[in-house]
Structure 1
């Protein structure tokens, strides 16, 4: 082990800082190169003293050095203990130790022994377990990809549907239709988008066949009774537009079975029974039910009152029919068709002056069908 800094300065490891400084000053004077004519031996000693004092003169560096020195001493002691061996004649439990076996060695292999052999490649064989693991991995990857795609399609479809609803509420039918189309591109079975697109096809595009297909597709999805009733109502209107009154009546009846408070379905079924199926008594019952469904305190719908007057006139109840027409005029006084119907009723009751007045009012309000009636009996 080389000299420690304490040995270079000639002080004990427990020496105080003053003792270390004093020893350093003495040794610096002793080994200074100028005193020895530049002798390299004293120069090396002088450098060693300076290094030692640079460590021991600083309290922090001295503490670190003491710790490292203690660790080095401990390691040296352990190495000495490991190098000790038991003498050959020593007895263990009364039995002499056997002599150590000679170390058998051999000379290095020659060039003839040092050669390389080509290891033949073994063909990989898949057992049943490997195939099952591979199939399971592929199935899991496929399911994960499909789930991610389904989630993204649902999110995108919902975004397009919300934009379509906003455009629908604003009356921007073209934008609403395009948004519902894009929503259905990502989710073809989205019932809400199918219903809204079907409504636009029926009410705006006047395409009852296309609307019927969308509404029937929407009905294949689970829905609340009120929503299903609304879908059945629109299906009935499609059948009416397609001139299928019996099918329309059946759809309206299914809608009312699901939601008996659906006033438009009562009105539509009554209109079909009156004008297409020629059942005025059943139509009158539907009109009365439609009028009872309206919210209290609000004016009754003029169309229901007008159609109720038609049903009453068909049943020969002319006084009640006139009252129904007059009630419709109270709600919508500038409706030319209602004036024309009052003229027909007055004409039927033998009141030509009243009939001509009603026909004239109907013409003034722009109802062109009153022209022939006015021209025949009022000039």
Structure 2
């Protein structure tokens, strides 16, 4: 017997009942199936432990079991003795002796008692594999995006440069087409937006579309002077569209950013004179615009001198109005409109002969509106 009840309890065959009991309690705690999740191996071992204790704890059963052990040992010793003295190749009745049957103390272990270690399944992708795969895909996508952005930028710049060349040769439609193609590849290309807006405003007279381009260019522009120019251009389009309040506000923004813009001063003065009828503000703006023009050495536009004279006339400041009109006549003596306006000044001052003379000159110079005034005021 390879394993007997003493071996199960882990005691010697001469162990006292107390030793057997202590060994049983200790192993019962260690091998109880509840401590091992109901493992079948530990259930079998626990059953074997209980059987061994039941037999060895009973003196009568133990004595009988010890007698069985001694008999088994004697049989085993006799078998070994016979094996030692048997001649190899000895034949019995002409047949070789069969090998001795293997000695067993118990039935072979069942599959549930064998200790198998299951081989864990290898996953196809670990977390590291997923991270590397995702990183590779992200890198490819980022590279493709960078290539696209770079190519779009290069194409947009090339189209813009071609548009500038056509713009310089006054090929307006060709230039506008190039600028539009540049914006297809780079929608926030502020230079292309501004150039296309200028063509729409000054050549096509498409003020609404030009306003849209100027507003888009403003969103992409941070430099103050450039923003001032864009506000000025946007206001010009809004005046043509009848958006007077927005135009006046944007001209104010332009002057807040760059007070040296004579064009913005004069444009706001024109809005305040004709649209808002704010004559003091108009005079202030015309004066500032004309002063900035003279500072940089540019010729004074007679149109705005005439407008300022008209604003003075509306405020009944006839002396200042006459002075501006005279300056216009010095630059252009054949201006029939200014002769007519001087006649109105003389008429307001009660100088009928002078008024009639100015009206007559205006008619001779081709200003037809003066003829009606001459007929009404002059005999």
- Please report the TM-score for the alignment, with normalisation by the length of structure 1: 0.62
Shift of 1:262: 0.5
Q: Partners of 1:168 and 1:241 in 2: how far apart? A: 24
Q: Partners of 2:364 and 2:155 in 1: how far apart? A: 55
Contiguous gaps of at least 5 residues in structure 2? 1-120
Deviations 1:210-269 (A, max 9, x none): 111111111111321110000111111122111122211111000000000000000000
- 1:320 pairs with 2:323: no
Shift of 1:373: 4.3
Deviations 1:345-376 (A, max 9, x none): 3444433422323421441xxx5555654665
- Check the 8 A contact 1:359/1:374 in 2, yes or no: no
- 1:95-174 aligned at under 5 Å gives the runs 125-174=124-173
Shift of 1:298: 4.1
Q: Partners of 1:132 and 1:255 in 2: how far apart? A: 53
- Check the 8 A contact 1:262/1:293 in 2, yes or no: yes
Q: Partners of 1:370 and 1:331 in 2: how far apart? A: 21
- Check the 8 A contact 1:283/1:311 in 2, yes or no: yes
- Structure 2 match to 1:304: 304
Deviations 1:92-128 (A, max 9, x none): xxxxxxxxxxxxxxxxxxxxxxxxxxxxxx9982222
Shift of 1:170: 3.0
Q: Partners of 1:173 and 1:290 in 2: how far apart? A: 30
Q: 1:332 to 1:153 in 2, by over 3 A?
A: farther
Deviations 1:188-223 (A, max 9, x none): 111111112122222221122111111111111132
Shift of 1:322: 1.8
Deviations 1:69-112 (A, max 9, x none): xxxxxxxxxxxxxxxxxxxxxxxxxxxxxxxxxxxxxxxxxxxx
- Structure 2 match to 1:248: 247
- 1:357 pairs with 2:360: yes
RMSD over aligned Cα atoms: 2.5
Q: Partners of 1:146 and 1:312 in 2: how far apart? A: 62
Q: 1:225 to 1:132 in 2, by over 3 A?
A: same
Larger RCO: 1 or 2 (CA < 8 Å, sep 6+): 2
Q: Partners of 1:282 and 1:152 in 2: how far apart? A: 51
- Structure 2 match to 1:227: 226
Shift of 1:312: 0.9
Q: Partners of 1:263 and 1:218 in 2: how far apart? A: 22
Q: Partners of 2:330 and 2:347 in 1: how far apart? A: 22
Q: 1:179 to 1:295 in 2, by over 3 A?
A: farther
Shift of 1:149: 1.5
- Check the 8 A contact 2:255/2:261 in 1, yes or no: yes
Shift of 1:293: 0.5
- Structure 1 match to 2:276: 277
Q: Partners of 1:233 and 1:217 in 2: how far apart? A: 14
Shift of 1:338: 3.3
- Structure 1 match to 2:329: 329
Larger CA Rg, structure 1 vs 2: 2
- Check the 8 A contact 2:343/2:356 in 1, yes or no: no
- 1:203 pairs with 2:206: no
Deviations 1:145-195 (A, max 9, x none): 111121121122112222222332333222221121111111111111111
Q: 1:196 to 1:342 in 2, by over 3 A?
A: farther
Q: 1:352 to 1:302 in 2, by over 3 A?
A: closer
- Please report the TM-score for the alignment, with normalisation by the length of structure 2: 0.62
Shift of 1:292: 1.0
Shift of 1:330: 3.0
SS in structure 1 opposite 2:293?
Answer: coil
